[in-house]
Structure 1
Amino acid sequence: MDPTGSTAPHHPEVFPAGWTRRRHPIHREAGPDWDTTVRGILRERMLDLCEAPRLWFDAAAEDRHPVARSVRKLSELLGAEEEFTALAALYAPEESILDVLLELLADEQVPQAAPLRYKPSGLNKRRRWEELWEAQRHTDSSSTTEDRRERGGLDEAVPVPPRFTSADFFKSSYWKQRGKFDIPNERFTSFPSSVAPLPPSTLIGWAGWDARARAQVVLDLLEADAHAHAQRPESALPLLRALAEVLPWVRAGHALDPASPLDDDEALSHAYEHHITRLGLSTEDVSSWRPPAPKRGRPRKDG
């Protein structure tokens, strides 16, 4: 009798080559349970629906004008869509559409303004990377295609800044989205004014916008709050900082695509300068702006 207790004959067709008979079952590492797997699928599909371009462009505009949405407004729009509401009911049966959306977006958005993304160490690294990019843009604009091909990359005269770490970011989710080279991988951008948990009033944008669209959105937000900013000029600094950071990429986009409208790009820069002058601020005020220290506790839901 087989010492394992089996009465099965020792035939190749019963135990194919490479198989080993064991007295005890093979223990395999446990994977995610079924509920976790299903929730992950539901989450990804709902996030895909949140990225629908129709949510991020004004349907009434003829030129596909980009538009930011508050989390609350986004929940109203998605709450009118049958597929999203059905998925949300499966994902969190006891939660409202707004609560589901707040959970979904919390780790999928990254603020547009750098001081709301990085701690001081990260801001310092970001500044050094921006200096490198500016030097590279200057080199590219003053050299021929053949020169750039022969050089084959970054200007060796400019030292490469250090890589980012998780300790450089205010939130671990920002680090997960950006990584050590701070490469945007998030689905959404946001326009908050402080480092705090995501409240319903936070304005969200689509990461699928190009630099020109992002700049236009920020200008629209500045115009919409022009009266409030006139009363408290410092309240415009988070948006002005976001605009200042995106304008170099607008100009870089024109350099890569000379067919793009240069007048529009210049108009964006002039609008930025106009808002600074109108509010009695300076470019130094914008570049030196830092958010107030984060407050502890959960955000209010009546915003």
Structure 2
Amino acid sequence: MYGAYGLLREEEVTRTTTIDLPAVALGQRAFEIALARSGVETVWFERHNSNPVTEIPSHWPEAYREVMQARIDLIEANKDIRLIERSEYKRRWSIEPWDRREAAALRGWLLNAAEQEELWFEEQDGYTVPRPLTVNQLADALRHDEDVQAVASLYAADHLGKRDASLAAVVEAEHVPYAAALRYKDSGLRKRAQWEQVWEQQREEDRTGKRLDIKVPPKYTGADFLKHSYWSNRGKLDVPKERFISYPGASPGSDTSLLLGWAGWNHRDQADALVGFIRSRVESGGWEKEDPRFVPLLAGLREVMPWVHQWYGGHDEEWDGNPAEEFQAALDNGRTERGLSESDLTNWRPEKKTRGRKSSA
């Protein structure tokens, strides 16, 4: 190619070209050997997890060793070739180790299996409703799928060392809590409040057709989130990219594993799930009406309601009613029964865990 562009003479092209190509390992390309010999300070080898090679490998065929030496000589002698034969212009042989690629593939396969839509809905009284599942329930639902069990066993054996915790480990970084106070630190909650104001102004524009002077809300940073996994799933614009919604503290009493919803649920489904939690925990979960665990559930319902009003505020044939009106009534009744104000829900924060030394006897 260099010859075609007139950078090398015909005899130089002949001297540096061959069809007898042995296997060349990372760090053994001509420019890499020349770079290693030059003594120039570089992070190329460290970044690619390779060792600098200064000598042409002796196990190569003699003809290829001569070609390689001719290439190195050209790099050192020809300033034009030397300018191009630099690491900045070379393809990076940066391939993740096989065990990491295998782990990512197995984990992705299991997550796709756990996201099958039919797992997250069920029929009740002729209606299709969202079906929340604890991690244990999700594992039970997949237990009879032979493919899932085979992949889970392989993933656990090679990458976890135990099988029982495999599904919990797989979903650990793929869920984000339903309520803002469970997602953000105080700085993130302040930004969230500004975003909510912007959304309400946009809805006002839609209602009136009058353009408002809406200020651009601040972007989030990793420091605004309570966990790095929440940040990596949401990013600076807080766009949901997680696979699951988590409901910490809302699991039924007989199952303490994390309660999950599907991130593929729309806002109506999310509200329906929360209303279902509130009803079932009173009727069959053994929670007293004054139980403080209801407060975050009602706070989460309050957060999703503006979107339910926006998208499901009219008569819904499938629903056979107005979903927004029904869920708003459930929220209002839930607050009234527990003597909670709107600000009580807005200001709710999870109890902070404290660290400290155990007192000595």
TM-score w.r.t. length of structure 2: 0.68
Residue in structure 2 matching 1:252, options 310, 316, 321: 310
Residue matched to 2:14: 10
Residue matched to 1:280: 339
Gaps of 5+ in 1: 1-8, 297-303
* Aligned-pair CA distance for 1:95: 2.0
Q: State the AA in 1 paired with 2:68.
A: R
Cα separation, 2, equivalents of 1:173 and 1:273: 33
Residue matched to 1:213: 269
Residue matched to 1:241: 299
Residues 249-281 of structure 1, C-alpha deviation per residue, up to 9 Å, x if partnerless? 111113699888662221110111011111222
Residue matched to 2:162: 95
User: Aligned with 2:239: secondary structure?
Assistant: coil
Q: State the AA in 2 paired with 1:294.
A: K
Residues 144-172 of structure 1, C-alpha deviation per residue, up to 9 Å, x if partnerless? xxx7xxx6xxx4x1211110000000011
* Aligned-pair CA distance for 1:92: 1.0
Cα separation, 2, equivalents of 1:229 and 1:54: 29
Contact 1:111 1:189 in 2 (8 A): yes
Instruction: Tell whether 2:125 aligns with 1:57.
Output: no
Residue matched to 1:35: 99
Report percent identity of matched pairs: 34
Residue in structure 2 matching 1:189, options 239, 245, 255: 245
User: Aligned with 1:65: secondary structure?
Assistant: strand
Instruction: Tell whether 2:127 aligns with 1:127.
Output: no
* Aligned-pair CA distance for 1:62: 2.9
Residues 43-99 of structure 1, C-alpha deviation per residue, up to 9 Å, x if partnerless? 1111001101111111455322111111111111112211111100111124224x1
Contact 1:233 1:280 in 2 (8 A): no
Residue matched to 1:108: 174
User: Aligned with 2:121: secondary structure?
Assistant: coil
Q: State the AA in 1 paired with 2:228.
A: S
User: Aligned with 1:58: secondary structure?
Assistant: strand
* Aligned-pair CA distance for 1:142: 1.3
Instruction: Tell whether 2:230 aligns with 1:230.
Output: no
Gaps of 5+ in 2: 1-12, 20-29, 32-66, 73-84, 356-361
Note the aligned Cα RMSD (angstroms): 3.0
The alignment of Structure 1 onto Structure 2 pairs a total of residues equal to 271
Contact 2:316 2:322 in 1 (8 A): no
User: Aligned with 1:55: secondary structure?
Assistant: helix
Instruction: Tell whether 2:131 aligns with 1:67.
Output: yes
Q: Which moved more, 1:246-255 or 1:161-170?
A: 246-255
Cα separation, 1, equivalents of 2:206 and 2:318: 18
User: Aligned with 2:129: secondary structure?
Assistant: coil
Contact 1:49 1:84 in 2 (8 A): yes
* Aligned-pair CA distance for 1:231: 5.0
Cα separation, 2, equivalents of 1:281 and 1:231: 12
Cα separation, 2, equivalents of 1:290 and 1:265: 26
Contact 1:71 1:200 in 2 (8 A): no
Residue matched to 2:220: 164
Cα separation, 2, equivalents of 1:219 and 1:247: 11
User: Aligned with 1:201: secondary structure?
Assistant: coil
Higher relative contact order (CA 8 A, sep 6+): 1
Residue matched to 2:146: 82
